[in-house]
Amino acid sequence: MPTEPETDYDPELGRKFIFVTGGVMSGLGKGITAASTGRLLKNAGFDVTAVKIDPYLNVDAGTMNPFQHGEVYVLKDGGEVDLDLGNYERFLDIDMTFDHNVTTGKTYQHVIEKERAGDYLGRTVQIIPHVTDDIKRRIREAAEGNDVCIIEVGGTVGDIEGMPYLEALRQFAHEEDEDDILFTHVTLVPYSKNGEQKTKPTQHSVKELRSIGLQPDVLVGRCSDKLDIDTKEKIALFCDVPTDAVFSNPDVDDIYHVPLMVEEEGLDQYVMEQLNVADEALPAEDRENRWRELVTQQTEGEVDVALVGKYDLEDAYMSVHEALKHAGLEKNVDVNVRWVNSEKMPDHHERRMREADAIVVPGGFGTRGTQGKIDAIRYARENAIPYLGLCLGFQLAVIEYARNVLGLEWAHSAELDEDTPHPVIDILPEQYEIEDMGGTMRLGAHETDIEPGTLAASLYGDSCTERHRHRYEVNPEYFDSLEDAGLKFSGRSGNRMEILELAAAEHPYFIGTQFHPEFRSRPTRASPPFVGLLEAVLGDDPHGVDAETEVSH
Ligand code: GLN
């Protein structure tokens, strides 16, 4: 876990803070609403960052089960965080750090550590002011160096866990200038049976907010359609905001269209006016337009990609899915992801996998569904189907090759079969001594050196810096025999194998990465191995010249 800096905050710096809370129920997409607002402010020339507050007692998301919570997103500094931070990184095209995720576990741990160290000089340590002060400090520090910081409070107003945060925000607003703070509240506007948009849930939720001393400046109604003017007027009247402070956020097919929707409603303009920065915004014609161009372009063709995983919950593979979409934006095709459950192979899921144009085996932990994934990799390798293996998908490609090409029948990963006679994937040396489950992995951004003339070099150039999250890696005892048998390790980090591939003569596109390239993929900057996968399907040979070194092979 990255260490936490405690720096001095300069209150004179003119930062703007947008707090985003949610009402009625969770899962309304307030993170996407917030990230979309941020994207528009960024297009208008502002430096924007974000903080996600998760009011749970876990210190970080690293120990959380992706089946319940969705994927664990990994930051460049190795922070393991909620997947919403991935959305902020993708929408704002920024790299965040671990201190942009504030959790109750982290905050309390820090306060208790300070208490044990005697830093509170014998005083009674309390939620107010000690915990709330720590929360405010974290927000201010995370905002440093930016014009605008968006702070999303996870959960719903009224949750017990969220109370210290809302109190901290109330104090925060009290301490800052009025025009430096904006409260946005996202609520649900359901339809009644007779087709009427109902505002009562919004009214109740705003009442709850006000009872803790917070008055929203902006209200965003999540509804299947746009809010009618009558609905907006009613919300405005009951919640004490002007009608033009009420915005709709209707359902859209693709989350990347939300910034366009929000812009159409004028939310960004209203926010800039309230924060008194509208005059500093770039004129409309000079604003960044690439996002709009990409997400509204007319696609030509479709590619079906089988994502062979173990979970039925699609959020468990959110960043992989997004990275495939980004590659689709770059290649101007629609990417249809076929969710293939490797535990249901062989069966109809195997057919779904075989009918796809390309196969991806993403990261994972534990033995469930392993054989189905290995079968999928074998199928891709033997039938010239473009294949991308990510972390576990890289390790299983090594195992598949060792078994079926090298003839090491019981080859396996020591993680998945302790007694294997051929542990081609084994624990990282530094892991032998560690027993604690939190914070034991190789995490975050590390550089990989790439061999010129390889497929990896044509994708990345002579090196890449991608994010990691693993405990196991290729066992050095098997490097030579695997390479002699034709499995090329084209990317290395010291003695660690980072990228594997098959030669162009053997396969159109067979590549695996020990790292997770999906975490650095952005809508406006697709990740090279994902773009290569689509190129192989579309018949543009990704084994071209080296991306940067221009060495032909
Ligand atoms: N379970 C494997 C390891 O720990 C792979 C991890 C992953 O796919 N993120 O090395």
Do residues 289 and 338 share a domain? no
Do residues 176 and 223 share a domain? yes
Q: Which of 255, 273, 294 is the last residue of a domain?
A: 294
92 pLDDT more than 90: yes
**CATH number of the domain to which 351 belongs:** 3.40.50.880
What is the 529 CA–ligand 1 centroid distance (Å)? 19
Do residues 139 and 226 share a domain? yes
Let me know if residue 1 belongs to a domain. no
The stretch 294-305 carries a mean pLDDT of 92
pLDDT of 58 reads 83
* Residues forming a β-bridge with 302: 334
pLDDT of 67 reads 72
How confident is residue 550, by pLDDT bands cut at 50, 70 and 90? very low
Range of the domain at 168: 11-294
What is the 421 CA–ligand 1 centroid distance (Å)? 20
Q: Cα(211)–Cα(206) distance, rounded to whole angstroms? A: 9
180 pLDDT more than 80: yes
Type and span of the H or E element at 374: helix 370-382
Number of domains in the chain: 2
Q: Which of 271, 294, 317 is the last residue of a domain?
A: 294
Q: Cα(336)–Cα(41) distance, rounded to whole angstroms? A: 31
Q: Which of 294, 324, 345 is the last residue of a domain?
A: 294
Least trusted range by pLDDT, from 5-9, 266-270, 381-385, 497-501: 5-9
The stretch 226-243 carries a mean pLDDT of 95
Cβ of residue 467 lying under 6 Å from some atom of ligand 1: no
Do residues 253 and 279 share a domain? yes
551 pLDDT more than 50: no
Do residues 91 and 174 share a domain? yes
> Which pair of tokens denotes residue 494?
């010291």
Q: Please state the pTM of the whole predicted model.
A: 0.91
Let me know if residue 3 belongs to a domain. no
The predicted-structure confidence for 185-218, as pLDDT tens digits, reads as follows 999 999 999 999 999 999 999 999 999 999 999 9
78 pLDDT more than 90: yes
Q: Which atom of ligand 1 is nearest to the CA of 425?
A: 10
Let me know if residue 553 belongs to a domain. no
Do residues 320 and 418 share a domain? yes
Nearest C-alpha neighbor of 463 from the set 395, 532, 398, 528? 528
Cβ of residue 216 lying under 6 Å from some atom of ligand 1: no
The stretch 30-52 carries a mean pLDDT of 95
Do residues 504 and 517 share a domain? yes
Let me know if residue 431 belongs to a domain. yes
Strands (E), 310-350: 334-341
Cβ of residue 392 lying under 6 Å from some atom of ligand 1: yes
Q: Which atom of ligand 1 is nearest to the CA of 362?
A: 8
Let me know if residue 549 belongs to a domain. no
DSSP string, 89-141: HHHHT----GGGEEEHHHHHHHHHHHHHTTTTTTPPP-IIIIIHHHHHHHHHH
The stretch 496-511 carries a mean pLDDT of 96
Question: Between 332 and 60, where is the model more confident?
Answer: 332
Determine the residue of 342, 360, 392, 473 to mutate for testing ligand 1's pocket, defined as the one with the most ligand atoms within 8 A of the Cβ atom. Answer: 392
260 pLDDT more than 50: yes
